Structure 1
């Protein structure tokens, strides 16, 4: 079975725009593109999309999901079993909240708050996230970053964070300029060099993917826009220009 992108969107509830974004960052590419330029998705691609949505349901960021599902050692069946365990825990908590609501609607005076306790699910999710990253998140970039940062002490991390913050602040201060201006493009190069020096070799391909995530992934966007509203989108545009050269 092969579905066009709009058919996949209708089937899954994932918007066409989001599917385009997943394609751009290399998370989920169409199985092939027809002569008429239609993106087509086969059963394997649909299964991968389902797996991505399971990870998203558990609040994994897209960059980590990509590392995991692209890992050669990724075990889809085992991952699905773990997803099931966590979703069952989530459902049990929701069922308890529904029962509490029903009692309250019926007029029963119940001052119980234990139903709101989410610690069991959160602890299980954190444990699973740790296991996933250890087993399937070991891309070359991940391994290099882990090796570089494992011995950073508190002062070194402070220095690293300050360096990154200074560059992001500079992007914010220059966001009224053109994304292809000499000053802004110099900042992109500085950001790429910063990532390479402090974490892992940031190739243009990796940088391009990061740029897309800065404007599309809410976690990245919120953090970067903390330096000034619109900074994430501006930075994304500047990186796109840089990577086209």
Structure 2
């Protein structure tokens, strides 16, 4: 069965504009174009879109996703198993963050004694490092950044 871009958008929650962009950059091409110029997607493209969305959910850039899914060695079942594993890890981290929020609320209400190190349970240090790198790129190297490149000084 073939689906129009509108139908794929409704099924997936991905905007029509995004689907057109994915086609433009070669990330997700439709199965075919109709005589009317409409894009038509089939099951294979829907599964490919699902992979794209899983990778995006894991904060992977489109360029990296494109490299991965177009490799000759790309195995859909293996990728799905890997997606599942990474999503379970993310779910665990998010659950820890929820507990951190709950404990902080209880602490602020006077119902729980929060130890200082518990304020930061669940935060992804790799993401924090990435944010620091972005700040350094934006503000430059000589704007109060420490020599270990981890945090601003002063």
TM-score by length of 2: 0.70
The offset of 1:9, in angstroms, is 1.0
Q: Matched residue pairs, number?
A: 122
CA distance, structure 1, for counterparts of residue 83 and residue 41 of structure 2: 24
Q: Does 1:98 align with 2:98?
A: yes
CA distance, structure 1, for counterparts of residue 120 and residue 82 of structure 2: 25
CA distance, structure 2, for counterparts of residue 103 and residue 116 of structure 1: 12
Aligned residues of 2:97 and 2:121 also touching (Cα < 8 A): yes
Q: Does 1:109 align with 2:113?
A: yes
Greater share of helix? 1
Runs of 4+ more than 3 Å apart: 103-106
- Residues 190-210 of structure 1, C-alpha deviations (whole Å, 9 max, x = no match): xxxxxxxxxxxxxxxxxxxxx
CA distance, structure 1, for counterparts of residue 96 and residue 122 of structure 2: 8
CA distance, structure 1, for counterparts of residue 105 and residue 52 of structure 2: 38
Which secondary structure state, in structure 1, belongs to the residue aligned with residue 40 of structure 2?
Answer: strand
The offset of 1:78, in angstroms, is 0.9
Q: Unpaired runs of 5+ in structure 2?
A: 128-136, 138-154
The residue correspondences of 1:2-13 to structure 2 (distance < 5 A) are 2-13=2-13
Structure with higher RCO (Cα < 8 A, 6+ apart): 1
- RMSD between superposed Cα atoms in Å: 2.1
Which secondary structure state, in structure 2, belongs to the residue aligned with residue 18 of structure 1?
Answer: helix
Q: Unpaired runs of 5+ in structure 1?
A: 124-222, 224-245
Tell me the equivalent position of 1:16: 16
Match of 1:118 among 119, 124, 139: 124
The offset of 1:91, in angstroms, is 0.8
The residue correspondences of 1:60-209 to structure 2 (distance < 5 A) are 60-106=60-106, 107=109, 108-111=112-115, 112-119=118-125, 122=126
Which secondary structure state, in structure 1, belongs to the residue aligned with residue 121 of structure 2?
Answer: helix
Tell me the equivalent position of 1:40: 40
Which secondary structure state, in structure 2, belongs to the residue aligned with residue 116 of structure 1?
Answer: coil
- Residues 151-209 of structure 1, C-alpha deviations (whole Å, 9 max, x = no match): xxxxxxxxxxxxxxxxxxxxxxxxxxxxxxxxxxxxxxxxxxxxxxxxxxxxxxxxxxx
CA distance, structure 1, for counterparts of residue 61 and residue 89 of structure 2: 21
Tell me the equivalent position of 2:50: 50
CA distance, structure 2, for counterparts of residue 66 and residue 104 of structure 1: 40
CA distance, structure 2, for counterparts of residue 93 and residue 68 of structure 1: 25
